[in-house]
Structure 1
């Protein structure tokens, strides 16, 4: 097993681990099916895939604050949301949703993290400790 660590800064405190689900496109939580956590946005890189129980590595968010908050609330309330979020380009709307939902989340990650992490890597986000651990078989 190969393990690499990356420095980061916290958005919302907490620690969580799960397999990575990586998107190089902006995410709109309103376009995620609440009952399954499956992305239903047509032609999105994650279309048809569930973020439930995963560490979401996201490029950015899109949509209004109401749309993002409502979408994230609905999937989180059903236990079908991501366990943590690594956000490359934080915007006020996405960050606000993460803070309100108290979802462990980070930003300002070392740049080589984004070229290294792959779908399915086991990722541990320790927002309070300022660290992301990536484990690969």
Structure 2
């Protein structure tokens, strides 16, 4: 089953990949290892998961302004997500996505996306197509 969601473009680009979804905020300064792409924040909902090539779906960023550079570092090291979907893009994540040229959208009902779903993210046109994971 497919579902198409509308989104607001933040950083244009078209990517696709498996979704990794959390209801918790992410700070790229301390939540993610910038050399491996693994979630390292203790007790985070997706602790131990790897972001490489995934579409990262979460409500909004949190924390330090250094997170912008950490997101850039993740992408440039080849261990970052393929794209980001937020309910609300906040400045630290937005700046990181812009400098990393990482497709990003917000204003999306992330409750419609589950970890393991396949996502086609057309950030250029503000569209998110979700193909539900087969059970």
Same fold (TM over 0.5): yes
Cα shift at 1:116? 2.0
Structure 2 unaligned blocks of 5 or more: none
Separation of aligned partners in 1, 2:92 and 2:71:
12
Structure 1 unaligned blocks of 5 or more: none
Q: Does 1:120 align with 2:116?
A: yes
Q: Which residue in 1 is equivalent to 2:34?
A: 34
**Residue deviations 1:14-61, cap 9 Å, x none?**
010000000111101122112321010111111111111100001111
Query: When the two structures are superposed, what TM-score results if normalisation uses the length of structure 2?
Result: 0.91
Cα shift at 1:73? 2.2
**Residue deviations 1:76-98, cap 9 Å, x none?**
12111000000112212221111
Separation of aligned partners in 2, 1:34 and 1:63:
16
Q: Does 1:102 align with 2:101?
A: yes
Report which of the two has the higher share of helix. Answer: 1
Separation of aligned partners in 1, 2:98 and 2:76:
15
Q: How big is the alpha-carbon RMSD for the aligned residues of Structure 1 and Structure 2? A: 1.2
Q: Which residue in 2 is equivalent to 1:134?
A: 130
SS of match in other structure, 2:68: helix
Query: When the two structures are superposed, what TM-score results if normalisation uses the length of structure 1?
Result: 0.90
Separation of aligned partners in 2, 1:30 and 1:115:
25
